[in-house]
Structure 1
Amino acid sequence: MPFLDWVNKNQAKETSRDVPYHLLHQEQTYGDAADNLLIQGDNLLALKALIPFYAGQVKCIFIDPPYNTQSAFEHYDDKLEHSQWLSMMYPRLVLLRELLAEDGSIWVAIDEREGHYLKVLMDEVFGRKSFIATIIWENFYGRSNAAAISPAHNYILCYSPKGEDWKHVRNLLPRSETSASKYSNPDNDPRGPWRLGPIFAAEERHDGLMYTITTPSGRSVAPPKGSHWRMLEVDFWAMVADNRIAFGEKGDNIPAIKLFLREVQDGLVPRSIWPHGEAGHSQDAKREVMALFPGQTPFGTPKPELLISNIIRVASSNDDLVLDSFLGSGTTAAVAHKMGRRWIGIEMGDHARTHCIPRLQKVIDGEQGGISEAVGWKGGGGFRFYTLGETAFDAHGHINAAVRFATLAAYVWHLEVGEPGTQIFDSPLLGIHNGTAYYLLYNGILGDRRPDGGNVLIQPVLQHLHTLAAHSGPKVIYGESSRLGPARLAAEGITFKQIPYDIKMR
């Protein structure tokens, strides 16, 4: 597979490996306590901080990164040299890949300036087999006389670890009024509205599917060259008897299958072209933001709620986790909240406070803009607001004194088993995975902070672990030091790892 190369690519790869872990500091809770998180800070650092807790848990990722349009917007700098833009995107995509669920999907909005480079970059990070589609979104429906060819669309690249099998887990889009209007009931069929469907299959000839029928008017009909009937002849006449075959008012038309609205799939398979009538457009998005913040300059490049709702509807179900690490004006979080999804939004700029928090407070209060009426939104829920704190480990690998037991426990659990630490960490036993028990002696979890006490593996501590959480199989124990000899550790089936030296960044 060909790879994209650019200046400083090797440095970008190292960045994805060497991003330090930072602590997340909770500033405030808004509304009812909830799992929803709004984080202000560099999204590279915030994504790394989330991995021990959410690796492989995010069902839908949508990001709308700077398009590198060589212009500067009021709320963020979109003027990056090409290689710098690629170096910015690469490590963030790598971390997003770590957070994405195996049956999840990532959607990235972009325009034609970097869209094709982004496609090759995402092929490298996620694998070409993970590519699902390039969505063409009609974001502008007017015409610009100033352009050689008036731009009318943006791209949205969609990838999933499941590749083609993702079609078995993705959802359908709701059937629009335009789609339903294609169905009618001219013969007053008691099964309701219907439309005509094809009766021939354009494939190679098959035995039993090549026959000639006679229409009610006496016309003989056989499959055209290179095709065949879709059903056996006995089944064809059974469908005629059941009034599922239409021959036209005079009985002289080539037969067609009657497809009833009530029997088709409850929704539409998404297409790769999303016209503005089905997904909104840029002016819709600006009007939505202006309605939320009257008198203020709208955010430079917001996305309409209808577009985001289509993505979230296709890519997730109720209570699934949605992530946007370029949250901007907060659209993804607002839409996910209204649609009953859990969400995480990350935004570096001041508008995390000036735009995102006020907008999401209005959502909690039941604001009726965007998709609110369509989804029956009445308000409720809440979110927690976080900022990035200090690094969890210093340059020498020492643990920051501000790191609490539960935080380090999540790091250790993810380091050892590769899964997020979603359980409650309030005991030295972090959990059992594939027959091995993992323990952490840190921060006085046993109630003894003396140097030779609860953070050091000595005989009384080991006995206490047996009493507290006995396990007959292999054990991995993290602690400040061990006073037990190699023979005793081997006899107990213990692998001891010293804090902080054996805590390597995953």
Structure 2
Amino acid sequence: MPTLNWIGKEKVINHHQDVPYKILEPQYGFADGVQQSEPNNSGNKIIHGDNLEALKSLLPEFEGKVNCIYIDPPYNTGNESWVYNDNVNHPKIKKWLGEVVGKDGEDLTRHDKWLCMMYPRLKLLHKLLAKEGVIFISIDDNEHAHLKLLMDEIFGQKNFLGDFVISSSPSGIDYGPIGKTHEYALFYSKNYNSTVTFQLKEEDKKFKYKDDKGEFNLYPLYNGNVAFNPETRPNLYYPFYLNPNNKIENDFYEIGLEKKNDWIEVYPVVSQKEGIPRVWRWGKPKAASELNKEIIGYVTGSGEYRIVQKTRLDSKVMRSMQIDTEVSSRKGTAEVQHIFGDKKFSFPKPVDLLKRFISIGSDENSIILDSFAGSGTTAHAVLNLNKQDGGNRKFILIEMEDYANTITAERVKRVINGYGEDKKTVEGTGGSFDYYQLGEPLFLEEDILNEAVGIENILKYIWYSETRTTFIPVDNLEKDNYRIGTKDQTDYYFYYIVDGVTTVDYDFMAKIKHKASQYIIYADNCLLEKDFMLKHHIIFKKIPRDITRF
């Protein structure tokens, strides 16, 4: 598989592991149409802070649980004024800190900076994505080729599901050799074998026929791909028999798999272009179970006999070309203007595009993440879909810029409550969210535990680092002798007192009543003998230097 190299790559491959773990500090909740001082724990989150650090802070609760990710990172056009800010321990990269990334010819490391910025973020997004989850990434031709190789490396070439071409500006702009009218969205899964994608509902779908089960159209039973033919799929090449003397519903004909009297033999049609016989899409056992139910005989206008399937689908697979006006950036701009009354944000994505991505990449109970949230289109799309189908999707938005509250969160508030005037008024979707600020790091210099973050945040981190599962808060640690939980027959203890020194000794062990195969105990000191610890399967970890880093 082709790989991509650039300045600083060897230093950013594992940079996500060095990113400090910071806590999320709730600032307010928004529910019942009003802002409240306390969080409402709705599951919807808007986070203000650096998205690399914010993604790291989500791991304890959401690793492997996010069903659908959409991101719209900087396209690196040279006109976006984005700044490289990742504190990677490398002399060349440190020189980039705080520098605005320039244009080709002006900034010879423009692409290196972009790749160094994207790599650790994609690594953390991969960790957060569920096994069956998918990710969509908007991009244009400035970095499209680089991003494809980057995604192949991190997500795996086999997990590439497709590349959407999207209308960005239908009329284009008359400068340069080409009037650019499109951009792209790369579509990857985390695990192709586990991925489930959905079809887009066709609201205006028309059906020609109707039976006891409902409306339907006709679809040929033969396989249109000539790679599937009698030589390659002999089990799918067999005759049906059609009774020309027995018309059933809607002028269709009775069919069977055995020859009877003057019944007519029907094979799949031969490809006119290649002259190769086709095969059926169904094998004999399946066909036998649906004879004259979901498959029937049909006669074309030219008198040819066919075997057809009743298709009742009111949806279709999303097409790679998304070029209608509903998904253009102009539509996105108009939507933001309608919400705020003026142009608050440049080049926002349209809601319909995000609704389509979310619809094919998740179900009604999924978690949707956008770590380059911008104006908040992803949350808008989630709320619209929930209102439309009664779903319970949850959104997580991350935005590092100062407008995270005044534009991103404010847009979500207005979508929830309703917006617009006169005939253009849009009814609110309802819903709620909590707004967070990226807070203090869990560890200070020299890996000293930052006790100011509070015991619950410390326990959440320890539990995740040990078990890679979500922590369930403990009501009273001291009541259960500081046991924070049990996983796979191992008990975990955090013997911690804010203003005191804790020691694991024989008196402490005598108070442990819960039986387990192994005991992992965090404390300040340990006076137990090694033989005793080995015999009773006790592992001591000193607070705070032995807390596992991830």
Give the TM bin, normalised by the shorter chain.
Answer: 0.7 to 0.9
Residues 267 and 439 of structure 1: CA distance in aligned 2, closer, same or farther (over 3 Å)? farther
Of 317, 326, 341 in structure 1, the residue corresponding to residue 372 of structure 2 is: 326
2:202 matched residue in structure 1: 175
Alignment of structure 1 residues 394-413 onto 2, 5 Å: 394-413=444-463
Structure 2 counterpart of 1:288: 335
Change (3 A) 1:107 1:443: farther
2:315 is paired with a residue whose SS is coil
1:252 CA displacement: 1.3
Find the aligned partners of 1:68 and 1:123 in 2 and give their Cα distance. 20
Counterpart position of 2:473: 424
- Cα deviations by residue, 1:207-263 (Å, 9 ceiling, x for unpaired): 784559789699997642422452799979x967999332135x61453525343xx
* Paired residue secondary structure (2:58): helix
Q: 1:158 and 2:187 equivalent?
A: yes
Match of 2:487 in 1: 433
1: CA distance between counterparts of 2:78 and 2:142?
10
Partner AA of 2:27 in structure 1: E
Aligned residue in 1 for 2:350: 304
Aligned equivalents of 2:542, 2:294: Cα separation in 1: 76
Inter-CA distance 353–407: structure 2 relative to 1 (3 Å threshold):
same
Distance in 1, Cα, partners of 2:431 & 2:471: 21
Q: Of 204, 208, 223, which residue of structure 1 is paired with 2:229?
A: 204
- List aligned pairs for 1:130-279, cutoff 5 A: 130-166=159-195, 169-177=196-204, 180-181=205-206, 183-185=207-209, 194-201=216-223, 202=226, 203-205=228-230, 206=234, 209=237, 223-224=269-270, 225-228=275-278, 230=280, 244-249=296-301, 252-255=303-306, 257=308, 259-261=310-312, 264=313, 267-276=315-324
With the length of structure 2 as denominator, give the TM-score of the two structures.
Answer: 0.78
C-alpha contact 1:199 1:257 (8 A) present in aligned 2: yes
Instruction: Determine if contact 2:74/2:80 at 8 Å carries over to the other structure.
Output: no
Deviations 1:283-319 (A, max 9, x none): 1100100111113x33112111111111111222223
| 1:17-32 pair list within 5 angstroms | 17-31=17-31
| SS at structure 2 position matched to 1:25 | strand
CA contact (8 A) 1:74 1:300 kept: no
How far off its partner does 1:172 sit?
A: 2.1
Aligned equivalents of 1:498, 1:400: Cα separation in 2: 15
1: CA distance, partners of 2:183 / 2:396: 24
Aligned match for 2:56, one of 48, 55, 67: 48
Taking structure 1 as reference, are residues 436 and 191 closer, same or farther at Cα in structure 2, changes over 3 Å only?
closer
Of residues 59, 66, 77 in structure 1, which corresponds to 2:67?
A: 59
Q: 1:461 to 1:343 in 2, by over 3 A?
A: farther
Match of 1:355 among 403, 407, 411: 407
Cα pair distance change 1:16/1:208, threshold 3 Å: closer
C-alpha distance in 1 between matches for 2:133 and 2:283: 40
CA apart distance, 1:75:
12
Note the residue ranges of structure 1 that are not aligned, 5 or more in a row: none
Q: Aligned runs of 1:65-84 on 2, under 5 Å? A: 65-72=73-80, 79=102, 81-84=110-113
Matched residues, number: 477
Q: Is the 8 A contact 1:133 1:158 kept in 2?
A: yes
For residue 453 of structure 2, give the secondary structure of its aligned residue in structure 1.
coil
- In 1, are the aligned partners of 2:490 and 2:516 still within 8 Å (CA)? no
CA contact (8 A) 1:38 1:385 kept: yes
**Identical positions, percent:** 30
The 1:415–1:439 alpha-carbon spacing in structure 2 relative to 1, beyond 3 Å, is same
The 3 A distance-change label for structure 1 pair 404 and 165 is same
SS at match of 2:464: helix
**C-alpha contact (below 8 Å) 1:215/1:247 kept by paired residues:** no
Structure with the bigger percentage of strand = 2
Q: Which moved more, 1:92-101 or 1:77-86?
A: 77-86
Task: Please list the CA deviations of residues 143-172 of structure 1 after superposition, one character each: whole Å capped at 9, or x if unmatched.
Answer: 433343332322111222221441xx2222
State the shift of 1:74 in Å: 10
Q: Distance in 1 between matches of 2:294 and 2:470?
A: 57
Aligned with residue 393 of structure 2, among 320, 325, 341: 341
The alpha-carbon deviation at position 495 of structure 1 amounts to 0.4
Matched residue SS, 1:402: helix
Check whether the contact 1:73–1:300 (CA below 8 A) recurs between aligned residues: no
Verify the 8 A CA contact 1:405 1:443 in the aligned structure 2: no
Cα gap change, 1:497 to 1:195, in 2 (>3 Å)? same
CA offsets, 1:377-429, max 9 Å, x none? 75333211111222211220001121222211121122112x23242244332
Gaps spanning 5+ residues in structure 2: where? 33-39, 85-99, 104-109, 246-261, 387-391
- When residues 213 and 377 of structure 1 are mapped into structure 2, their CA distance, relative to the original with a 3 A threshold, is same
Query: Match of 1:244, SS?
Result: strand
Q: Secondary structure at the match of 1:252?
A: coil
Contact (CA 8 Å) 1:139, 1:276: kept in 2 or not?
no
Please state whether the residue corresponding to 1:472 is helix, strand or coil. coil
Q: Could you say what the CA RMSD is over the residues aligned between the two structures, in angstroms?
A: 3.3
